[in-house]
């Protein structure tokens, strides 16, 4: 009887143990600037990433990607290639920071992690947009 109770208790607790041992969800964000910041025309941008890795473009490693910053644009759909143009900047060498120069006024920024082929990986790897104001010179 004790063996049955112990077996049932172990089986009942197994799903709970599996949940606590699960891999944490990835998170992507902008460390700098922060939402609502007023910045000069040229300013520092620092990318943030948790629970995922960074690898240069073209390097196909599981659970890795590289940063792209979108300026005044929505993110492409999951699996779509992130365009390469002035509104979609690629950091394929694995950079975690950069400098941007933007025209004066309000702008939205979001950071997206792309895979080795510059495709959007998942919804969790698209940051919430932030709004900044670039000061006139």
Report yes or no: 127 and 113 within 8 Å, Cβ to Cβ: no
Peptide linkage before 17 cis (omega within 30 of 0): no
Taken in order 83, 114, 94, 105, is the CA torsion positive or negative? positive
pLDDT in the model for residue 32: 98
**Which pLDDT band, with edges at 50, 70 and 90, does 8 fall under?**
very low
| H-run or E-run covering 20 | helix 2-20
Per CATH, the architecture of 24-134 is what? Sandwich (2.60)
Q: Could you report the per-residue pLDDT of 25-69, keeping only the tens digit for each?
A: 999 999 999 999 999 999 999 999 999 999 999 999 999 999 999
Kindly state the tokens that stand for 115: 């895979």
Report yes or no: 52 and 96 within 8 Å, Cβ to Cβ: no
∠ at Cα 121 (87, 85), nearest 5°? 15
Rounded to whole angstroms, how far apart are CA atoms 45 and 54?
Answer: 17
pLDDT in the model for residue 10: 39
Give 17 or 123, the one with higher predicted confidence.
123
Q: Residue ranges per domain, the chain?
A: 24-134
Rounded to whole angstroms, how far apart are CA atoms 80 and 92?
Answer: 16
Rounded to whole angstroms, how far apart are CA atoms 68 and 62?
Answer: 18
| pTM for the full predicted model | 0.82
Q: Could you report the per-residue pLDDT of 73-88, keeping only the tens digit for each?
A: 999 999 999 999 999 9
**Partners of residue 131 on adjacent β-strands:** 108
- Average per-residue pLDDT for the chain: 89
């Amino acid at each position: 009887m004790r063996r049955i109770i112990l077996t049932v208790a172990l089986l009942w607790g197994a799903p709970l143990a599996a949940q606590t041992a699960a891999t944490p969800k990835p998170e992507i964000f902008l460390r700098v600037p922060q939402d609502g910041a007023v910045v000069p025309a040229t300013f520092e941008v620092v990318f943030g990433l948790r629970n995922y890795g960074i690898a240069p473009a073209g390097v196909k490693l599981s659970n890795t990607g590289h940063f792209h910053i979108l300026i005044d644009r929505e993110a492409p759909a999951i699996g779509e290639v992130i365009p390469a143009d002035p509104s979609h900047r690629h950091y394929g060498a694995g950079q975690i920071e950069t400098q941007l120069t933007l025209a004066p006024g309000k702008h939205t920024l979001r950071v997206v992690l792309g895979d080795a082929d510059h495709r959007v990986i998942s919804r969790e790897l698209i940051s919430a947009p932030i709004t900044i104001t670039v000061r006139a010179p």
